[in-house]
RNA sequence: GCCCCCAUCGUCUAGUGGACUAGGACGCAGCCCUUUCAAGGCUACGACCGGGGUUCGAAUCCCCGUGGGGGCACCA
């Protein structure tokens, strides 16, 4: 994969990386990370690190990269500039490209003129294309500033083959003489990517379909060099959740309002698992007929470039939540415990590993994101909970009656030789029965008293983990709250 | 404006001329299970963009519309 370090690493790049990785594993090839850092103006400090961090987290670490090395390095394009310059020169010598001395001002003027004439497509007017090659060479030698443009044929058409879309035929008259080497001596994407793909022996090019419009240019460059073409695959685009428009980095602000993100590096903090994210993005642009819950290994087994889909796909965060929850449930108790522990620690709760191992099975199927563990299990680690009086009063009863029930619960637990879910439940049920109450009322009060909240993991199992002493203390607190309520309404 | 790509339930998709009464998943609704919330099980709702062809037969092939998307830089 070959991202440019010009911003944050988002879902679309991650999906491309995943498919690259899967294809490499499937075919016994190498998964390479190449950084397309030829635009110095747009370079963003730290984005290279973010790309690698994101790939690592997803579990698709490159085999070759700027930091991992490899036999095709260097893997940053700015470190390969001579390579592109010599290739650009070769193209000029073969008559497939030419130096252009037009100033940005002249180009701007030409553009304006064309717009005024309402031409269909604004493009380079070809002034320097008409120059005598030896004259041009002299001007270059004299130190005049120039760029190199690719000489597109004016006649005929270009047929480019995409593995998903078949032949794409473009009339050459619609094409432009694009700049392939900039005046700063660095190449544009068009040259750099083609040269590197060839030099690095890239067999398959998978990229977003926003590249379709420059596809004819690219195949013309490859053919001008006389190189063998890779298999070209233009992947489906990711659309905004609304389906209106391409998903972009700028959409993150909107998405964040709902606690979502399009940046892979933020996913972990939001409680997403790499398994969930991977499964989610894999299924956009790839049609899998069978069971769609897949691990990375499953994906490697099933991946095929023949089952990729060309149409744009709207991202759907509800689906991410579904896959995240599903993969959380697939985790072992030990693994899940280790993954949720940092959230308790970050919240300043004194989490004990032994207790956590017992708690994890109780909350596992309730978690959509890992940080949900806080809402479901924080009460285990607190000294005391602070239920609201409203929550403590059972439906259909008043404070006095609720206090009575809490007192009875206290008595039952006190009478127990030891507190476990097996020992506590039968006497509680017997009490519910004999008092003519319903289980919802009694267990509701007990739940709020013990956990401080109306929604919790299974009550008796939770009480067992909290321990008799703490349970009694919390019940006592609840009784006090309810009694204060009934004497001073 | 011009060029290009795409088109099956709200969303992601299966489907490659007959096995389609169009399958699955998410979401949504209901039921079951149940001490809460989940999870799980079951059921319901829900689509071949329109029009022409080709063919004995079209979701599938062709054409034209329409709609959606992308691109038109010394950015990638």
Distance A444 CA to B35 C1' (A): 7
Q: Catalogue the active-site residues of A.
A: 249
Q: Looking at residue A396, what is its pLDDT?
A: 82
The pLDDT tens digits of the residues spanning A18-58 come to 999 999 999 999 999 999 999 999 999 999 999 999 999 99
Residue A73: pLDDT band (50, 70, 90) is confident
| Mean of pLDDT values over A79-105 | 97
Angle at A43 between CA A41 and CA A47, to 5 degrees: 165
Residue A64 is given by DSSP the state: B
Per-residue confidence (pLDDT) for residue A487, from 0 to 100: 64
- A311, closest nucleotide (Cα–C1'): B6
Q: What is the arithmetic mean of pLDDT over A101-130? A: 93
pLDDT the model gives residue A489: 47
- Minimum CA–C1' distance nucleotide for A106: B74
pLDDT at residue A294 greater than cutoff 70: yes
Q: Which nucleotides of B are covered by protein (CB under 7 A)?
A: 1-8, 10-16, 23-27, 35-40, 68-76
Percent of chain A topping pLDDT 90: 88
Protein CA A264 to sugar C1' B22 (Å): 36
Say which range, A211-215, A254-258, A276-280, A479-483, has the weakest mean pLDDT: A254-258
pLDDT band at residue A337 using 50, 70 and 90 as cut-offs = very high
Place of tokens 């031409």: A119
Closest-approach nucleotide to residue A216, Cα vs C1': B4
Query: The dihedral of CA A211, A212, A217, A223: what is its sign?
Result: positive
> Between the CA of A245 and the C1' of B68, what is the distance in angstroms?
9
Q: How far is the CA of A368 from the C1' of B60 (A)?
A: 39
Q: Residue A486 has what pLDDT?
A: 64
What is the Cα A153 distance to its own chain's centre?
Answer: 41
Give residue-wise pLDDT tens across range A47-56.
Answer: 999 999 999 9
The pLDDT confidence band at residue A485, using thresholds 50, 70 and 90, is: confident
d(CA A19, CA A300): 9
The predicted pLDDT at position A121 comes to 86
What per-residue string of b and e applies to A163-184 under the rule 16 or more CB within 10 Å gives b?
A: bbeeebebeeeebebbbbbbee
Sign of CA dihedral A406, A409, A411, A417: negative
How many helices and strands (H and E) does chain A possess? 21, 9
Which residue, among A136, A173, A142, has the nearest Cα to A155 in the 3D structure? Answer: A173
Alpha carbon A370 to chain centroid, angstroms:
16
Q: ipTM score here? A: 0.95
State the nucleotide closest to A103 in CA–C1' terms: B74
Mean pLDDT of A75-87: 98
pLDDT at A8: 95
pLDDT at A280: 98
Q: What is the mean pLDDT of chain A?
A: 95
A488 pLDDT band (50/70/90 cuts)? low
Which pLDDT score is estimated for A188?
Answer: 98
Q: State, as a whole number of angstroms, the distance between the CA of A274 and the C1' of B71.
A: 33
- Host H or E run for residue A421: helix A421-434
| Mean pLDDT of the A146-150 span | 98
Dihedral sign computed on CA atoms, order A6, A11, A16, A21? positive
């Amino acid at each position: 994969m070959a991202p440019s370090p010009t911003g944050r690493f988002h879902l679309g790049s991650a999906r491309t990386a995943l498919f690259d990785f899967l294809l490499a594993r499937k075919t016994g090839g190498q998964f390479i990370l190449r950084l397309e850092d030829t635009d110095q103006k747009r370079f963003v400090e730290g984005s290279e690190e973010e790309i690698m961090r994101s790939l690592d987290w997803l579990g698709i670490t490159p085999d070759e990269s700027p930091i991992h090395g490899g036999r095709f390095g260097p893997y940053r394009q700015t470190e390969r500039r001579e390579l592109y310059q010599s290739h650009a020169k070769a193209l000029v010598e073969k008559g497939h490209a030419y130096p252009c001395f037009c100033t940005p001002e002249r180009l701007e003027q030409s553009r304006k003129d064309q717009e005024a004439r309402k031409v269909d497509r604004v493009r380079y007017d070809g002034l320097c294309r008409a120059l005598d090659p030896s004259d041009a060479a002299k001007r270059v030698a004299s130190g005049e500033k120039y760029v190199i443009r690719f000489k597109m044929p004016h006649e005929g058409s270009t047929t480019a083959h995409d593995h998903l879309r078949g032949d794409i035929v473009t009339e050459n008259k619609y094409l432009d003489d694009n700049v392939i080497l900039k005046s700063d001596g660095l190449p544009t994407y068009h040259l750099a990517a083609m040269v590197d793909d060839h030099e690095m022996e890239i067999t398959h090019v998978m990229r977003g379909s926003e590249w379709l419009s420059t596809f004819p240019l690219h195949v013309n460059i490859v053919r001008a060099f006389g190189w063998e073409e890779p298999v070209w695959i233009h992947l489906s685009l990711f659309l905004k959740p609304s389906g209106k428009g391409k998903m972009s980095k700028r959409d993150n602000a909107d998405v964040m309002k709902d606690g979502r993100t399009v940046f892979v590096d933020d996913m972990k903090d939001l409680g997403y698992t790499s398994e969930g994210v991977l499964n989610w993005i894999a299924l956009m642009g790839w049609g899998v007929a069978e069971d769609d819950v897949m691990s990375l290994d499953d994906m490697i087994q099933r991946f095929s470039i023949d089952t990729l889909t060309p149409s744009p796909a709207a991202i759907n965060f509800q689906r991410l939540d579904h896959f995240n929850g599903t993969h959380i449930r697939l985790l072992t108790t030990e693994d899940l415990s280790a993954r949720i522990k940092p959230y308790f620690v970050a919240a300043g709760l004194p989490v004990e590993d032994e207790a956590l191992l017992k708690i994890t099975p109780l909350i596992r199927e309730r978690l959509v994101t890992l940080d949900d563990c806080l809402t479901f299990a924080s009460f285990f680690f607190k000294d005391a909970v602070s239920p609201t009086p409203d929550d403590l009063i059972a439906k259909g009863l008043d404070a006095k009656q609720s206090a009575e029930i809490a007192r009875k619960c206290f008595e039952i637990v006190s009478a127990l030789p030891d507190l476990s879910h097996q020992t506590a439940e039968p006497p509680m049920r017997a009490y519910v029965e004999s008092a003519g109450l319903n289980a919802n009322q009694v267990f509701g009060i007990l739940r709020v008293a013990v956990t401080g909240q109306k929604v919790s993991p299974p009550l008796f199992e939770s009480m067992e983990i909290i321990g008799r002493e703490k349970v009694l203390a919390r019940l006592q607190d609840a009784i006090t709250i309810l009694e204060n309520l009934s004497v001073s309404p």
